[in-house]
Structures are given as structure tokens and as C-alpha cells.
Amino acid sequence: MVESFQVSEGSVNTVAQGAPLVKVRDEFMPVVELQSLFEVPRSTSKARHADIMVVVEVEDSRVALRVDELLGQHQVVVKNLESNYRKIPNVSGATIMGDGSVALILDATAIVRRARSARSPARDLGELV
């Protein structure tokens, strides 16, 4: 993670092909909507006007991931799921939190690649993501 920030809905613009972009420090970045990518409905209690974006750098490009909330920063031991369970797309591992709950660790590279392939008809956007 490079940085996180709160963004208003008006700060996200859509290009002709329908891909959302957000301007961060004079740089336009593609927005990856995790709720759409994972097909998980967003909680109705989350206000759209107070979205949080997390900037990640993958393969020499920056992408803004729209998330519902940030829970904090933790040092964790990541366990490989593939050796203990099976390969799960877009998940690089899991960890056991202090309260005993299990948290999945998302694979940012796989997520960006998946977002790119979803936008593949728009050739010029492939360079943005």
C-alpha cells in the first residue's frame, strides 16, 4: 500500500469506455471497484460520499482500490493457503488475528491483472491500469 485517502463521489471521473479514474496528486489513476470485481454487494450503511481509496503500486503502475473501510495496520504472519488448503484466486494467503478470527490477504497483483482483463476491450486503458 502506498497511501490511502478519502474521496468524494465527484472526484471520480469516467472516461469514454466507462472506466473510472481518480486524480491523486496531479496523477490520474484507474479505480478498481473491489465490490464489483468480487461481486459482493456493498453494505447499505456505507455512505458513498465518504469512500476510501487505497493506492497500490503493481508492476510499475499505481491503482486506486475503492474499499469500504480501513481497520488499521497490523504486523501479521501470512500463511500460504495453497499448501494448507487450495489456491484461491486473488488471495495470496491468510492470517490469524489477535482475536482469533481469520483474515484473508488479498493479492494486489492478481487483482490489478483481473481488472485489466475485465477492461481489455478498451486497449488504451490497459496502459493506465
- Residue 22: Cβ-neighbour burial (10 angstroms; 0-12, 13-18, 19+): buried
pLDDT at 119 over 50: yes
Tell me the CATH architecture of domain 3-70+109-127. Beta Barrel (2.40)
Residue 71 has pLDDT above 60, yes or no: yes
User: Residue 33's pLDDT band (boundaries 50, 70, 90)?
Assistant: confident
* 104 has pLDDT over 80: yes
- Please tell me the predicted confidence (pLDDT) of residue 50: 65
Q: Look at 127 and 36; give whichever has higher pLDDT.
A: 36
* Domain boundaries defined on the chain: 3-70+109-127
**121: pLDDT strictly greater than 70:** no
